[in-house]
Amino acid sequence: MADQDQNNQGAQNAANASNGNVESPEKKSGRKFIVIGVVLLLVVLAGLYYWRSTFSEDTDDAQVDGDIYQVSSRISGQVLRVDFEDNKKVEANQLLVEIDPKDYQVALEQAQAALASAQADYTTASANVPITSVTTNTTVSTSGSDVRASTSSVDQAQKQAAAAAARVEQAQANAIKARLDVERYTPLVEKDVISKQQFDAAVATARASSAAVIESEASLVAAQSAISQAQQKLDQSRFQAAQASKNGPQEVAVQRAKAASALANVKQAQAKVDQALLNLSYTRVLAPTAGIVNKKNVQVGANLSIGQDLVTIVPLNNLWVTANFKETQLEQMKPGQEVTLKVDALGGRKFSGKVTQVGGATGSRLSLFPPENATGNYVKVVQRIPVRIDFTNLQQENGDYALRPGFSVTPEVRVKN
């Protein structure tokens, strides 16, 4: 049986040799090395590709973002002019809408008139302060002079009363002496020791002395009454001086308070003027920034209310990219890393950028209804984190303003150098 197999093999080899299909051992060995080399090359290329892929992270869940300005009316009024068209570009501070300013011009004139009146009141009140101060000081000084004069009058009246009392004593002493002389002369005149003339003179002297006593006593009463009057005048002067000293500063303080109140009225009137000026300036609605206008919601002749939306402006020079990377891609990602941005709507046009910040929470956690994972059927899902990417050279790369908020972007973040 073995001999038969060998014969069959030999016959087959002979047939192959006759057909030219017999391969030499060298050719078989060369083919094997080529296959091995190709496999090794593919393995090396695959390894290099995998190693190179670790240098960057990318995602297709990214969009262009930007500030959107909602322009609204800050006052009410009728529209006189609309100076823009929907989906057209406007410049910063360009007039968009003009509101009828007549009512606000009248309000401004009223506020200015009230301010002028308040300023006049303040000028008058301020001028009264020094006048009141001088008047008060004069009154206090005069009151002091009156007190001193009244005190001098009291002293003089007391001295005159003392002199009158002395004269009363003297008159009383003379009256006593004259009465005693009459008593001594009476028996003598009866005995004709002295003459009738001497006796009559003594009686006359006694009467004169009694009259002098009465007169001096009356003078004393008058002097004492003068003391009372002078004392009353002194008390009145002192009271007036005390009132002047007390009321004077109060009157000055009252005038100063009136001046301060007038100044407050001036400031209040000035505030109303400023508010009127602001309201008048609000009749011209200007574009807060350059950009494309959308959602036009105003027409000439319309009556606007405060806070009514007029138009939306989308600026094209303040854009960034919000990329939602998987949480497994953030291990080596950090702010400052360079990013290449490919915009789908522009045929893959590339822009340069850098990572600015990594979001504080996942998108699911920041959603309106965050998921509740405390359930029995929990399934682990890879979460995504919003990452902000700012354009590094937007003015030059987007000179034609081709970028728009909402465009899909494929960012490639270089996480290794």
CATH number, domain with residue 143: 1.10.287
**Of 239, 260, 281, the domain-final residue:** 281
pLDDT at 343 over 60: yes
State whether 111 and 230 are in the same domain: yes
Q: Which range is least confidently modeled, 183-192, 296-305, 327-336, 358-367? A: 183-192
State whether 126 and 84 are in the same domain: no
What is the structure's pLDDT at 141? 64
Quick check: 56 and 412 in contact, CB under 8 A?
yes
Does some domain include residue 81? yes
Q: Which range is least confidently modeled, 223-237, 298-312, 388-402? A: 223-237
pLDDT at 20 over 60: no
- Residues of the chain with pLDDT > 70: what percent? 81
Find residue 409's DSSP bridge partners: 343
Mean pLDDT of all residues in 375-381: 71
State whether 83 and 110 are in the same domain: no
Q: How many independent structural domains does the chain possess?
A: 2
Dist CA 69 CA 315 (whole Å): 8
State whether 140 and 274 are in the same domain: yes
State whether 308 and 159 are in the same domain: no
State whether 221 and 165 are in the same domain: yes
Average pLDDT over the chain, rounded to an integer: 81
Phi, psi of 95 (to 5 degrees): -65, 125
- For 63, other C-beta atoms within 10 Å of its C-beta total 13
Q: Which range is least confidently modeled, 221-230, 232-241, 342-351? A: 232-241
Does some domain include residue 35? no
Dist CA 118 CA 192 (whole Å): 106
Do you know the residue count of the chain?
A: 417
Return all residues near 402 (Cβ < 8 A) that are at least 6 apart. Answer: 346, 349
Does some domain include residue 45? no
Nearest to residue 24, comparing CAs of 16, 15, 34?
16
State whether 129 and 185 are in the same domain: yes
Q: Which range is least confidently modeled, 113-127, 194-208, 251-265? A: 194-208
What is the structure's pLDDT at 398? 80
What is the structure's pLDDT at 397? 82
Mean pLDDT of all residues in 347-363: 90
- CATH number of the domain where residue 301 is located: 2.40.50.100
State whether 268 and 307 are in the same domain: no
**Strand ranges across the sheet with 77-82:** 284-286, 95-99, 77-82, 303-304
The number of C-alpha atoms within 13 Å of 16 and in the hemisphere containing its C-beta is 10
Give the amino acid at 75: I
State whether 204 and 303 are in the same domain: no
**Of 261, 281, 301, the domain-final residue:** 281
pLDDT at 1 over 70: no
Tell me which DSSP letter residue 283 carries: T
Does some domain include residue 189? yes
State whether 159 and 243 are in the same domain: yes
Query: Cα torsion for 307, 309, 311, 315, to the nearest 10°?
Result: 60
Does some domain include residue 76? yes
CA angle 203, 206, 207 (to 5 degrees): 90
Q: Tell me the H-state helices in 282-337.
A: none
Nearest to residue 392, comparing CAs of 316, 309, 336, 323?
336
Does some domain include residue 177? yes
Report the number of secondary-structure helices (H) and strands (E) in the chain: 5, 15
What is the structure's pLDDT at 244? 62
Dist CA 299 CA 286 (whole Å): 16
pLDDT confidence tier of residue 163, bands split at 50, 70 and 90: confident
The number of C-alpha atoms within 13 Å of 348 and in the hemisphere containing its C-beta is 0
What is the structure's pLDDT at 144? 65
- In sequence order, what E strands does 51-149 have? 56-58, 62-66, 69-72, 77-82, 89-90, 95-99
DSSP of 134-170: HHHHHHHHHHHHHHHHHHHHHHHHHHHHHHHHHHHHH
Does some domain include residue 162? yes
Quick check: 234 and 147 in contact, CB under 8 A?
yes
Residues 41-64 have pLDDT tens digits of: 788 777 766 665 567 888 999 999
State whether 269 and 297 are in the same domain: no
Does some domain include residue 261? yes
pLDDT at 18 over 50: no
Dist CA 282 CA 105 (whole Å): 12
SS (H, E, C) 228-272: HHHHHHHHHHHHHHHHHHHHHHHHHHHHHHHHHHHHHHHHHHHHH
Return all residues near 167 (Cβ < 8 A) that are at least 6 apart. Answer: 216, 219, 220
Quick check: 153 and 238 in contact, CB under 8 A?
no
Residues 226-282 have pLDDT tens digits of: 777 877 876 777 666 666 666 556 776 777 888 888 899 999 999 999 999 999 999
Q: Which range is least confidently modeled, 55-64, 128-137, 320-329, 386-395? A: 128-137
The pTM (predicted TM-score) of the whole model is: 0.58
pLDDT confidence tier of residue 313, bands split at 50, 70 and 90: very high
| Residue 81 lies in domain | 69-102+284-312
Mean pLDDT of all residues in 284-293: 92
State whether 131 and 262 are in the same domain: yes
pLDDT at 198 over 90: no
Q: Which of 171-175, 234-238, 243-247, 355-359 has the highest mean pLDDT?
A: 355-359
Quick check: 210 and 175 in contact, CB under 8 A?
yes
